[in-house]
Structures are given as C-alpha cells and as structure tokens.
Structure 1
Amino acid sequence: MIIEPAMRDTLFGVSTATITTVLLKKGLRNVWMRGTKPVRPGQPRLLGRAFTLRFIPAREDLATPESWSSPISTRAAIEAMPEGCITVVDAMGVTDAGIFGDILCARMAKKGVAGLVTDGVVRDLAGVLGTGLPVWCQGAAAPASVAGLTFVNWQEPIGCGGVAVFPDDVIMVDDDGAVVIPQKLLAEVAAAAADQERMEEWIMTQVNAGASLPGLYPPNADNIARYKEWTKAR
C-alpha cells in the first residue's frame, strides 16, 4: 500500500513526539517502541509501511546456522521486502544476539528498503554502518541471531519494544525513536498532526516573546482564539 504523496508530505513535516501526542488524544498510549534508538546521529526522518519479522526464544534444534538456508529464514524474508518499506523486527528485546549483520543489511539497502527498526541489536556494526541503511535498535552484539533467537515468520502481527505492530501499519522514525501509526487512523492522524505542529509553532513564538505557560500550553479559549487569528494572517 502506497502512502499518498500529500499525506506523506504532511507527516514529514512533523515529529514522532507530535505523533505520540496526537495518538494520545485518540486514546492510544502505547505507540512508541522501547529500545529503538538511532544507531548513528543524524539519520533521516523516515516514514513507511511496516514489513514485520518475528523471532522467538532460541531452541537448539531449530536455531542453527543451517536454518539460514531454510525457506523460512531471514534471507527469504529480505527477498520479500518491497521497496520503501520499513522493516520492523520483533527480537524480544534480546541484546546478546545480533539479528542482522552487514551482508543482510547491504541486501536490504540494495532492494530499496527505507530502514530497519528492532528492539534487538545488530552485529558487524562497522559494516552495517557502511551499508548506509538507517537502523534503529538497542546497539550491537557479536553473536549471531541463532545464539539467542529462532526466526519464525514475516508479515504477521508482532510486538516490537512492547508495541503491537501489524503489517502495513505506518512507521515513523526520527532521533526520538520509532512510532507506529495504525493504518486505519493514518488520514486522521496526518490532519491532526499538521494542526498540532502549527499550534506548537505559535506557542513557541509566544514563549520566545516572554509569555508564561499557564493558559498557553495547553492553550485556553483566549489563546485558541489568538492562535486562530494568527493562522488566518499567515
């Protein structure tokens, strides 16, 4: 599913912090994925449909190097990833086994995958950075995934960083981490986020002018009226 260009442009103009506020107002509190930190500073803000992968705890008869050649493997999942998707990997928060290394990340970058988000870690960190694939994770570890995890499937509902993520949900990532936008709420969230961002822009002009916060943030009726006049004058 393609995100409409106008909606994409709108969402690129807001932050994950704004998105979490908008979703909070809609009753969704648990949308920010814990442990999803940018692997290097200055990674671009990204927006894309979720392509999900799921690991479970390692079981010695299944989590073997030979499993990497199985039809159900991370290698096969990567070949199914569409251009522009954001890969979201449920690694159960495991931090002592890297889910992907430089070769797998290089293949993802070659296929046009927009980025990788996981509550786990990667391995071959220098090589991963060299691929140019933007990654949000908990860091790096030398052992391979099979040292602590068993890969089971892709494109099914997962939990990443304590958050439910369904295939084709919309993922936004920036310096504050990764947020999921339920696909059915995308249009509503985009519209509300644009207004929230404009409102906060106006509030910042008032703060910079010396205004105090009570009644301004959040705005009372008088300040909402002033904000509306400001938007008309723009």
Structure 2
Amino acid sequence: MSDDKSRLDAITGLSCTDISDALDRLGIPGQCFGIMPLDRNFRLAGRAWTLRYGPVGQDRGTVGDYIDDLGPADVVVLDNAGRLDATVWGDLLTSTASRRGIAGTVIDGICRDMDRSIELNYPLYSRGNWMRTGKDRVRVEQTAVPVSIGGIRVEPGDWLKGDGDGLVSVPASRIDEVLAIAHEVHDAEERIRAAILDGASLREARASVGYHTLQTRRA
C-alpha cells in the first residue's frame, strides 16, 4: 500500500481474528494476551505512541503530561508492567484524548473513571479498571521506546487493531504483508458464509477454500 491513510482504512475494515490468523501464518507474535476492551463496543486502529512506567523512587517522579502532544491516528500505549493496584489513566486524560481525536488507549495495567470513557465512546483496552491513583506510586521512565503489552513487544509506530475480541499489534515493517494475508483470510471466510447460506455443509464450505490451513505457517 502506498500510504498510511490506505493502511489505516485497511486495518480498520478488518477484524482482530483476521489479523491474528495472518500473524500466525507469517510467524509474527502479535496477539496481546489479556488486554481487552472495557466496553465490547469499543474499536480502535492506529499507530503506537509508547510510554513505559516504573515504580516511584526517592525522587517520586510523575505520571506524565504527554497527552497534549498527540493527535488523530495515535494510539496511546502505556506499559505499567501489568500492575493491577495503581492506575495510569483516568477522567481528565480520557476527556482530553477524546477532544483531540486520539484513536484510543492501550494499557498493560489498569485505568479508572470508566463512566467518562463510555460516555465519550473513547476506546480503552487494558487488564481492568480500579479507582486507586498511580500518582506517587508510578512514574514515567521513558517515552517513544519499545514496550511490552500483553507479552508482545510493541515499538513506536507499530500498528494496533482492537475490537471486541481483544488487541493485536503489527510491526510497522510487516504491515503490508499482514494486511494482504488478513484480507485473504477475511475473503475466504466470507465465501464460506455465503456457501452455507446457499445450502452447503460447513465441511464442504470449509474444504472449498482450504479453511483449516488459512492460518498455517508456510515454509
């Protein structure tokens, strides 16, 4: 594909399951385990802007005032090492991100103030939500660095897709081949669905497109 707008349109039109199968065929780890939408209607697609947190030390540190520098097609990706006892995202960040048109937020950890996110239909993907602040508990270690999200390495600029089934990450250097195969998977399943509606058995419909090997890694 020739430009990022085309890539964004393409990844938006695919499901996480389409992309997951494509990742499997190519041998790319990209399924972010345990990172789920906090509302099943949330959807996101865009490129990763990354931040890594760590526990506070003697100098305390802050949770960061980064949101004003981001915009549309950015996905905020926050690595809080999977912590479930301290949040790194809440009401004010949601309100600002929504106003700026940011594509969504992904957290290996938890967030709070879910009511605002649902009210604004701002996509949040995380390990859950709880009310206790991360202030004076975590601090920004680095931004624009590789991070770990659900056991997957996510680098700045990588592509992310989220829907009701979870979150997948695609390395920026592999996006075009992943999208091509994901479209192949999507089209094959649509053909199976159409054949079933025309009266074919599931066995026949699957066999006609080689369903059981769509995601199999190729030599």
Q: TM over 0.5, yes or no?
A: yes
Q: Hey, what's the Cα distance between the residues in 2 that align with 1:220 and 1:100?
A: 44
Structure 1 unpaired stretches of 5+: 225-234
Structure 1 residues 121 and 16: CA distance shift in structure 2, 3 A: same
Deviations 1:133-177 (A, max 9, x none): 211112211211146433212111111111100000011111111
Residue number in structure 2 paired with 1:96: 85
Residue number in structure 1 paired with 2:48: 50
Q: Which of 56, 59, 68 lines up with 2:56 in the alignment?
A: 59
Deviation (angstroms), 1:131: 4.2
The question of whether the paired residues in 2 share the 8 Å contact of 1:94 and 1:148 is answered with: no
Residue number in structure 2 paired with 1:232: none
The question of whether the paired residues in 1 share the 8 Å contact of 2:196 and 2:205 is answered with: no
Q: Hey, what's the Cα distance between the residues in 1 that align with 2:92 and 2:105?
A: 14
Identity %: 25
The question of whether the paired residues in 2 share the 8 Å contact of 1:102 and 1:131 is answered with: no
Q: Hey, what's the Cα distance between the residues in 2 that align with 1:203 and 1:10?
A: 21
Q: Hey, what's the Cα distance between the residues in 2 that align with 1:113 and 1:50?
A: 11
Kindly indicate whether residue 151 of structure 2 is the aligned counterpart of residue 162 of structure 1.
yes
Kindly indicate whether residue 173 of structure 2 is the aligned counterpart of residue 175 of structure 1.
no
Alignment of 1:1-234 (within 5 A): 4-28=4-28, 30-43=29-42, 45-56=43-54, 58-63=55-60, 67-68=61-62, 73-75=63-65, 77-146=66-135, 148-208=137-197, 209-213=199-203, 216=206, 219-220=209-210
Q: Hey, what's the Cα distance between the residues in 2 that align with 1:168 and 1:89?
A: 14
Root-mean-square deviation (Å): 2.5
Structure 1 residues 181 and 217: CA distance shift in structure 2, 3 A: farther
Q: Hey, what's the Cα distance between the residues in 2 that align with 1:62 and 1:127?
A: 32
The question of whether the paired residues in 1 share the 8 Å contact of 2:32 and 2:166 is answered with: yes
The question of whether the paired residues in 2 share the 8 Å contact of 1:50 and 1:170 is answered with: yes
The question of whether the paired residues in 1 share the 8 Å contact of 2:31 and 2:169 is answered with: yes
Structure 1 residues 60 and 6: CA distance shift in structure 2, 3 A: closer
Deviation (angstroms), 1:220: 4.5
> 3-state SS of the aligned residue for 2:201?
coil
Deviations 1:119-138 (A, max 9, x none): 21112232343444211112
> 3-state SS of the aligned residue for 2:118?
helix
Q: TM-score, normalised by structure 1?
A: 0.80
Structure 1 residues 102 and 212: CA distance shift in structure 2, 3 A: closer
Deviation (angstroms), 1:214: 7.3
Residue number in structure 1 paired with 2:217: none
Aligned length: 210
Q: Hey, what's the Cα distance between the residues in 1 that align with 2:79 and 2:6?
A: 30
**Letter matched to residue 58 of structure 2:** D
